Amino acid sequence: MELLQITKPSDFPLISTKKIVQMNNVYASYDSKNYVLKEITLSIDRGTIYVIVGQSGSGNLLFLNL
């Protein structure tokens, strides 16, 4: 019931009505050469606690800053 009609195939393949953050194949870098984040695909539901675990320097902060 929560699935909506997909209009653009380039967008997210599945869209439920309660996602608050979606990322699809995201790459990010500070210096536009070395990617700090690679191939991040995720979706975060509304009303949940989502924790990112990683060592310092693994791109956690950049992740929040996107």
Q: Tokens representing 57?
A: 């320097």
How far is residue 26's CA from residue 63's CA, in Å, rounded to a whole number? 10
How far is residue 45's CA from residue 32's CA, in Å, rounded to a whole number? 30
CB 8 to other proteins: min, Å: 10
Name the one residue in this structure whose structure tokens are 């990617």: 35
Our finding on whether 16 is near other proteins (CB under 8 A) is no
Our finding on whether 25 is near other proteins (CB under 8 A) is yes
Q: Which is nearer to other proteins, 1 or 47 (CB)?
A: 47
Enumerate binding residues for other proteins (CB under 8 A). 11-12, 15, 19-30, 32, 35-42, 44-56, 58-66
